[in-house]
Amino acid sequence: MKNLKKQDREVYKSIMGELKRQQEGMELIASENYVSEAVLEALGSVFTNKYSEGYPGKRYYGGQEYTDVVENLAIKRAKKLFQAEHVNVQPLSGAPANMIAYMALLQPGDTILGMDLSHGGHLTHGHPVTLSAQIYNFVRYKTKKNGLIDYKELEAMAIKHKPKLILAGFSAYTRQLNYAKFRSIAKKVGAITMMDMAHIAGLVAGKVITNPVPYFDVVTTTTHKTLRGPRGGMILCKEKYAQAIDKALFPGFQGGPHENNIAGKAVAFGEALKPSFKRYAQQILKNAKTLEKELKKYGFKLMFGGTDNHMVLVDVFGSKGISGKEAEVALDKVGITLNKNMIPDDPRKPLDPSGVRIGVPAITTRGMKEKEIKKIANWINDALENHQDTKKLKLIHKEVISLCKKFPLYK
């Protein structure tokens, strides 16, 4: 970054600060990851200068010889990764991807049956504060005491509310979904099926979780979580919905796509097609299982009974009498970053809920395995049980930094 360093010290220093924070911190936010140097290079490329409204071969401006090449590459690789009939790689991120899918498939006022937020769903799946909740009528299904989705209730709600769309997917749910069940319930009531696989896309690409794409009419995702690509979104769908999705994206919702970002997606999808990515996905599952077991040993209560994916949702208030917010702050002090999170039917408030969500994709990218996970679980327990002991927290922080340095990032 020699030019930036010379020209703009303030921005340069903030980037260097962030780099150091990432290098020395234990990143346990379930939705974060580290892209490769190759993806970073594509993101910082001259494609950022180019307008390219439209799609390969059908653009509104000239000079598209190379944008078409890179966008076609991203599409081809994504199709291969997820066995998709049609792919749109232009969504700027997950929230716009979901909005675009709703626009393509529904009319204002139509009913969507989606997962309750406190049971693991996502803001863009109809939380009252969102624009989509003002446009569409959302009804919400929940999980049962054993942690699985209550498919009987889902079916009864589908029959009662006659949704035009049934939505699967989550941001804080740890169990495998029964895709066939979603499909059969939707068929019974004539609904379209959509899944938001943002959290698990990398596990699907690595073939350690069943691919939802063959089961659902439309699948949305982000590209920067377990999939380990640049910050962005993507929509995969059956050919039947291809035109509606493409039109809803442009001119319906977005303007010029970010081709530097699409170049980064193409690189990341190329990486995800390699055998090493499968090994990465396998290790994520092993690490998450180890975290589940270790935290249980320390007396933590895990929501949904445990995990089948890359994260756990822990009731820290119920387990240790410390709120999710207090836990997040205490762990920040020892260099462990995670987020407070609601637990199903949380009696506490969203900004100070009962739980924390812990994910392993980022630390798995750094090469950490079961041995390191055991240490991390020990630190989490120690920090939460002694969250008012400044000396103790400082000591843990030193150990965290020292472990992170053994797994260097961007050497």
Query: Is residue 353 exposed (0-12), middle (13-18) or buried (19+ Cβ within 10 Å)?
Result: buried
Please, which residues bridge with residue 143 across strands? 149
Cβ proximity to ligand DSN, 339 vs 381, nearer residue: 339
Cβ proximity to ligand DSN, 264 vs 359, nearer residue: 359
Min CB(304)–ligand DSN separation in Å: 16
- List the catalytic residue out of 24, 53, 110, 150: 53
- List the catalytic residue out of 222, 226, 364, 365: 222
What single DSSP character describes residue 349?
Answer: B
- List the catalytic residue out of 164, 225, 320, 366: 225
- List the catalytic residue out of 24, 32, 50, 51: 51
Furthest CA-CA distance within the chain: 64
Please, which residues bridge with residue 235 across strands? 88, 220
196 annotated active-site:
yes
307 counts as binding ligand DSN under rule CB under 6 A? no
31 counts as binding ligand DSN under rule CB under 6 A? yes
Element containing residue 114 per DSSP (H, E) = strand 111-115
Cβ proximity to ligand DSN, 31 vs 261, nearer residue: 31
Q: Could you tell me if 384 and 334 are in contact, meaning their C-beta atoms sit under 8 angstroms apart? A: no
- How far apart are the C-alpha atoms of 379 and 394, rounded to whole Å? 12
222 annotated active-site:
yes
Which one among 64, 130, 143, 171 touches ligand DSN, defined by CB under 6 A?
171
Among positions 97-136, residues that touch ligand DSN (CB under 6 A) are: 122
Whether the bond between 251 and the residue before it is cis, its omega within 30 degrees of 0, is yes
155 annotated active-site:
no
Cβ proximity to ligand DSN, 122 vs 238, nearer residue: 122
Min CB(69)–ligand DSN separation in Å: 31
- List the catalytic residue out of 59, 231, 369, 375: 231
**Tokens representing residue 371 in the block:** 């041995």
What single DSSP character describes residue 143?
Answer: B
231 annotated active-site:
yes
- How far apart are the C-alpha atoms of 329 and 129, rounded to whole Å? 26
Cβ proximity to ligand DSN, 259 vs 346, nearer residue: 346
What single DSSP character describes residue 303?
Answer: G
Work out whether the CA dihedral 366, 371, 374, 378 comes out positive or negative.
Answer: negative
String of contacts with ligand DSN for each residue 237-256, x by CB under 6 A? --------------------
Q: Give the residue numbers marked as catalytic.
A: 51, 53, 196, 222, 225, 231
> Using CB under 6 A as the criterion, which residues of the chain lie in contact with ligand DSN when the complex forms?
31, 122, 171
